[in-house]
Chain A
Amino acid sequence: MDGVLTRRRFFESLAAYGGVSLAMAGMDALGYGFGSAQAAPPTLEGGGKGTKVVVLGAGLAGLTAAYELTKHGYEVQVLEAREFAGGRCQTARNGFRHVDLNGNDQTCQFDEGLYINHGPWRIPYHHRSTLHYTKLLGVPLESFVNDNDAAYVYFEKGDGPLKGKPVRKGEIAADARGHAAELIAKVAAKGGLDSALTAEDRDLFVAYMVNEGRLSATDLAYTGTEGRGFDVQPGAGVSPGPGKPSTPRSLADVLHSGAWQTLTSVTGYEQQRTMLQPIGGMDQIAKAFERKVGGLIRYSCVVETIRQDAKGVKIGYRDALGQKTEVAADYCICTIPLSVLRGIDLQASKPFKAAMEGVAYAPVNKIGLQMKRRFWEEDHFIYGGHVYNDMPGVGTISLPSSGWQSQKGVLLGYYSFGAEAAKISAKSPADRAAFAVAAGQKVFPEYAENYENAFSFCWHLAEHNLGGWAEWSEDGRKTAYPVLCEPDGRLYLAGEHLSYLGGWQAGAIESAWQQIGKLHARVRAA
């Protein structure tokens, strides 16, 4: 066996030389694909030897850059416009104050222990970069229920008997897929699909359809199934005993309702069923970073000018007292969203500045509603998950994945983006809450009577964000995006906007990893 380079040893040797990321790259190259996400930071071998880097913005991209660069001998300063770190990684709990660009001044009134993640709120299992830091920094996680068959779907724009009626997602799934499987199975069994199937495969295919749609194996009929629930639950003794099965809805009713829009063979890449969240709020990630690099951050410092020449960069900013100050460094990593950066006096090449115009930022709204009691758990047996619906401006109503069976709860009353979000954001916080409560009342009769207070956030009206996330058009991805991914002089941009994981914390982290990797290669070569 000696001298034989087994695959395993090959990967181990790559890891020994170049760290885990090189080993991963090697595995990807050999077809052991791990997906696009990067799993570990660049190793920055040889260190920065005191090279000075100023990082603009203490969101996850900035915090990542500061943490990794400092660890490897760089001298780092971070300028943050807010009085706290995290960027969009925020959590609103009692006392959290937000004044938006329109002067709406809110202080969160939730009871102690309750919160809403009005920014990022869930971590797909394959976002290994985010999970790298939650593990490394000791941020405890819990499950985030991203799919719940017991949760209602509510579609009011369709027609038929299900229009405007809350129906459990599992019922829709069972009936839509059951009826569809029956149709296909019967056609296939009669040879109707023989042009696509061999005779042997036909039997297997029919068996698959029976399994998929929970059909009767004898006549291939769909007549309902236990998983969609019972009219009388089975239980003890003779009564309720076996219970009473539920009756499926007709295919036509399901089709006309529009509720089938919630069904897909597999989730979207970013909407995995296994998701995680930090216990106690997403900002636990920001706080964990802060414990490591908080000393490097100057808070309440708003960047006004970014200048550079062949020797270095100079950043002009206004501090908490309104004093104009300047900081000099060898390089700058700028994580300020492009929506905000466009308004800053920036010294960069013409193509670079033109590229900055090539992206839109999404208006995004969220609202947390505090409820007196968890009626969705107590009366409807729904533990977490989303109420998908087609109400304009609402998008998703989501039930909390924490504090099960406790007295009160904060649910997400809406999560909408684009023009719908722009519209709702014109309302006062009180009117936004009234809008959200009226919407939820259509789904849960207990909604309005249990509502206590609200905290709403509109990302496009947040001064230092001006949007929830970058939205690249196909054109923008081709022309502007590659320009901004490369440094302009001594300026490196980083953030979710410079990734294909847009709007996700993993995008911010991996963009920072990539840019500090480039920066380091340049410093080493100099």
Chain B
Amino acid sequence: MLRNTIFATLVLTAAASPVWAAPQSGQTLYADNCSACHQVTGKGVKGAFPTLVGAPIVQGDGKLMAGVVLNGRAGMPAFKDDLSDADLTGILNYVRGAWGNKGKPVSFADVASARAQSNAKAKARGLQAH
């Protein structure tokens, strides 16, 4: 129920965006953006990509978790240029409730605030790397 309320909020907020299309579910967004490494099962790949099942970060402070996804850490890339606050909220809440995880829901406002706090400024990305 709480989750539905959150989604209703984020749809309203996201409506301000001109390119907004029908919202995708957190599960779909997770499958698209995260599952290559963390796997659809959330279990990751041993020795390479950490499991999200029962992981402290996933069940702890939501803003902290949002910060990790926005800015990346260790081997994980930064997603700040690739996920809207609305999409990220959906993904985080899916992960926090999936596979027996018991993380409290994250609000759109928490995610927006985590983005605002993110000190890593978005650098203009070059057309090519190497």
| A pairs with B | yes
| B128, A271: Cβ atoms closer than 8 Å | yes
Q: Which of B36, B47, B72, B76 contacts A102 (CB 8 A)?
A: B36
Q: Given A423-B33, A426-B32, A426-B36, answer yes or no on A388-B77 (Cβ-Cβ < 8 Å).
A: no
| A503, B129: Cβ atoms closer than 8 Å | yes
| B130, A469: Cβ atoms closer than 8 Å | yes
Q: Which of B32, B81, B130 contacts A423 (CB 8 A)?
A: B32
Q: Given A261-B127, A343-B48, A357-B74, answer yes or no on A419-B35 (Cβ-Cβ < 8 Å).
A: no
A380 close to chain B: CB less than 8 A: no
Q: From A120, which residue of chain B is reached at the shortest CB distance? A: B130
Residues of B within 8 A of A362 (CB): 77, 129
| B81, A360: Cβ atoms closer than 8 Å | no
Q: Given A101-B45, A423-B36, answer yes or no on A396-B77 (Cβ-Cβ < 8 Å).
A: no
Q: Given A343-B47, A361-B75, A420-B82, answer yes or no on A415-B35 (Cβ-Cβ < 8 Å).
A: no
Residues of B within 8 A of A504 (CB): 130
Would you call the interface of chain B mostly helix, strand, loop, or mixed? loop
Interface string of B68-86 (1 = CB under 8 A from A): 0000111111110111000
Smallest CB–CB gap between B92 and chain A, Å?
Answer: 15
B6 close to chain A: CB less than 8 A: no
Residues of A within 8 A of B75 (CB): 339, 342, 360-361, 460, 466-467
**Cα of A513 to Cα of B85 in the assembled complex, Å:** 45
A194 close to chain B: CB less than 8 A: no
Find residues 112-154 in chain A having any chain B CB closer than 8 Å to their own CB.
Answer: 120
Q: Which of B34, B74, B76, B126 contacts A268 (CB 8 A)?
A: B126
| B37, A460: Cβ atoms closer than 8 Å | yes
**Cα of A388 to Cα of B125 in the assembled complex, Å:** 13
Interface string of B16-59 (1 = CB under 8 A from A): 00000000000000011111110100000101110000000000
A-B contact count (CB 8 A): 95
| A419, B82: Cβ atoms closer than 8 Å | yes
Total interface residues on B, CB under 8 Å, equals: 30
Residues of A within 8 A of B31 (CB): 426
A418 close to chain B: CB less than 8 A: yes
**Cα of A468 to Cα of B73 in the assembled complex, Å:** 15
B120 close to chain A: CB less than 8 A: yes
A447 close to chain B: CB less than 8 A: no
| A101, B77: Cβ atoms closer than 8 Å | no
| A342, B82: Cβ atoms closer than 8 Å | no
**Cα of A120 to Cα of B32 in the assembled complex, Å:** 27
**Cα of A364 to Cα of B129 in the assembled complex, Å:** 10
Q: From A157, which residue of chain B is reached at the shortest CB distance? A: B19
**Cα of A78 to Cα of B73 in the assembled complex, Å:** 31
A329 close to chain B: CB less than 8 A: no
Smallest CB–CB gap between B43 and chain A, Å?
Answer: 12
| A418, B77: Cβ atoms closer than 8 Å | yes
Closest 7 CB pairs of A and B: A419-B82, A426-B36, A425-B36, A503-B130, A343-B47, A419-B79, A361-B75
Mind listing 10 A-B residue pairs with CB under 8 Å? A101-B45, A360-B75, A363-B77, A388-B127, A418-B82, A419-B82, A422-B36, A503-B129, A503-B130, A504-B130
Residues of B within 8 A of A (CB): 31-37, 39, 45, 47-49, 72-79, 81-83, 120, 125-130
Known: A271-B128, A425-B36. 17 other contacts (CB 8 A): A268-B126, A339-B75, A342-B74, A359-B74, A362-B77, A362-B129, A363-B36, A364-B129, A396-B127, A415-B129, A422-B33, A423-B82, A426-B35, A426-B36, A460-B75, A471-B77, A503-B129
